[in-house]
Amino acid sequence: MGTRLQGKVALITGAGNGMGYATTKLFSQEGATVIAVDIRKDDLQKWGNTENVIPMHADITNLEDIERVIGEADKRFGGLDIVCNIAGINDLCYPLEDTDDERWDNVMDLDLKAPFRICRRAVKSMEKRGGGSIVNVGSYAGVRGNHGPSYTAAKHGLIGLTMSIAVWYSKRGIRCNAINPGGISTNIGAHSGGDYHPEGIGMLSNLMMSFPVAIVGEPEDIANAALWLCVDESKHINGAILPVDAGASCC
């Protein structure tokens, strides 16, 4: 067990699998008390015997669930020190003409509106503890056009949200940074509501194969970056958009 986050209270969304699971595991090992949020009850069961992880079932597209989760942190711990917005889906590479309003709304609601609402509520909670660190997990796709319009727009919007929070809340001791993963070995496609668009995934696959770098990483790569952005040694890093993609964003 480490101590780099000893005494900190963290809220992590998507904590039941993938990047959220890896981040929850690492943060708890470093001494944080983690409120582990996921919409899948079965995935949360793996945290049942972890002393400093509090699993909470919630739908973060629901405003009442967000209030309930952060309200619990306020009641039990007097606020939050850390928020990691990791939960998300992608648009399964559906191009513009095949993107209906439902797909657009589903992606926007979870990937952009939910982090906006969580951050809006969390800054009040962080102020109670004298400040804090927010990490928003975006995507390489947020700065490139290799996915469909809904996912690209949502993740690009998350960058703007991150930068705005960084400017407005730095004077209150709250930092906000974003991580843009490249390809990560997770099951996001299976959780995104169907099959990949054949033409869209074909284009993305061809692009990835043409890169001179192997861009697929592991969830732990994102967890390690998130940890760095939340420890005291990174206190002068604010408003940064950190690519964790083995150099793919340089291509």
DSSP 30-85: TT-EEEEEES-HHHHGGGTT-TTEEEEE--TTSHHHHHHHHHHHHHHHSS-SEEEE
- Annotated catalytic residue, options 21, 140, 151, 169: 151
Whether 196 is catalytic: no
- Which tokens in the block code for residue 180? 């843009």
Q: Are 36 and 55 in contact (CB under 8 A)?
A: yes
Query: Residue 105 and residue 110: Cα distance in Å, rounded?
Result: 9
Query: Residue 108 and residue 7: Cα distance in Å, rounded?
Result: 34
> Among all chains, which residue has been given the structure tokens 């958009």?
241
* Enzyme catalytic residues: 151
